[in-house]
A and B are shown apart, each in its own frame.
Chain A
Amino acid sequence: MTDSDTKTAVTFGISALWSRSVPAEDVLEQLYDQYAHSLFRYALALTSCEDDAEDAVQEVFARLTRERKRLKSVESIKAYLYTSVRNAAYSILRSRRRRDDLEEAVVHEDRIRCQPGHGECEIQAMVLREAFLQIPLEQREVLVLKVFDGMTFAEIAETIGTSINTAASRYRYGIERLRRALEEDHNE
């Protein structure tokens, strides 16, 4: 598969991906390399568990494979993938609640491998990381999509199914919590 094929697929929507001239395996591989890291990070922010995040990403690609003919009407691959991984992650969270494992959903940092920050005070980075993993789920997912994936509030609103104002206010509350955590640590 050439770069132009991928660009064509990304530019003209998901229906272009399933043309007979491009093998489905190549398309899926290309999609994986392009989006899997971001999808995994988003799923991890929602589930707080590596295994569950991987399951969510796996479910997204399984759905892509199973229902690829039904995806011809999808306009934006990126929006589709993020919404799918969100649905999969929330589904996992719901089943986890059903298993009465909600207590385990509290973030255990040792379950999430993180690389230490470079050029930052390590303690400050740790405080920020802890604060980030403890803010409410709704705010955390908006922060991930805005800070890590560079989405606009309109794109975030479309992905999580809320209004732009709601997405913006969740971002604001999330940032405020992080700022407070850093200030408290600084004052101590």
Chain B
Amino acid sequence: MNDKRIEEMLQTSWTPQEPDGMRDRILRQTREELSRKKNRRPLFGVIGWKPALVGLAILTILVTGAFDSMYQSRISAMVDGSNPGMIPSAMCKVDLMNRKYELDRLLAMTDAGYGLLDDIEGNGTL
């Protein structure tokens, strides 16, 4: 028996049929799926989850950047205010010396000089 003959016999001996209503079931499901896709409303103008995810990622990056910038500026402000380094200290010293010289100069211009203060402290009156 040649191959062709076996093929012909097989074609006539095995002839399965689709179950009743299979066409309706499958086409109804596809129609429902299509109408579901058509009726899907965009959320905040965004259709689909991928663009929404991308938008969320961008927003997260921006917010993180803003917070980081704020944090860094706050930290640097705190460091500037509390730094006991040489430069602010030296500036303070120079300022104090200048003030002392100015005070001395002003007192030297008065008659009593330093004694005026002694009088005030000693007598309680001028």
Contact = CB atoms under 8 A, between A and B. Distances in A.
B34 interface: yes
B9 interface: yes
Contacts of B19: 50-51, 54
Nearest to A41: B16
B76 interface: no
30 contacts: A24-B34, A28-B27, A28-B34, A40-B16, A44-B16, A50-B16, A54-B18, A54-B22, A54-B25, A57-B22, A57-B26, A58-B26, A61-B26, A61-B27, A62-B33, A64-B30, A65-B34, A65-B37, A112-B16, A120-B12, A120-B13, A126-B13, A128-B6, A132-B10, A147-B7, A147-B11, A175-B6, A182-B6, A182-B9, A183-B1
Contacts of A65: 30, 33-34, 37
A56 B1 CA distance: 35
Contacts of B6: 128, 175, 178-179, 182
B23 A62 contact: no
A148 interface: yes
B25 to A, nearest CB: 7
B67 interface: no
B49 interface: no
Which secondary structure dominates chain B's binding surface?
Answer: helix
Interface of A: 24-25, 28-29, 32, 36-37, 40-41, 44, 50-51, 54, 57-58, 61-62, 64-66, 112-115, 117-120, 124-126, 128-129, 132-133, 143, 146-148, 175, 178-179, 182-183
Contacts of B3: 175
Contacts of A57: 22, 26
Contacts of B30: 25, 28, 61-62, 64-65
A94 B85 CA distance: 74
A62 B29 contact: yes
Contacts, number: 98
A117 B9 contact: yes
A128 B34 contact: no
B23 A178 contact: no
A7 B47 CA distance: 33
B125 interface: no
Contacts of B50: none
B44 interface: no
B17 interface: yes
Nearest to A121: B9
B9 A58 contact: no
Instruction: Identify the 9 closest CB pairs spanning chains A and B, nearest first.
Output: A125-B13, A117-B12, A65-B33, A117-B13, A129-B13, A147-B7, A115-B15, A128-B13, A65-B30
A24 B36 CA distance: 13
Given A37-B18, A58-B25, A132-B10, 11 more contacts: A25-B30, A40-B16, A44-B16, A54-B26, A62-B29, A65-B33, A65-B37, A115-B15, A147-B10, A175-B3, A175-B7
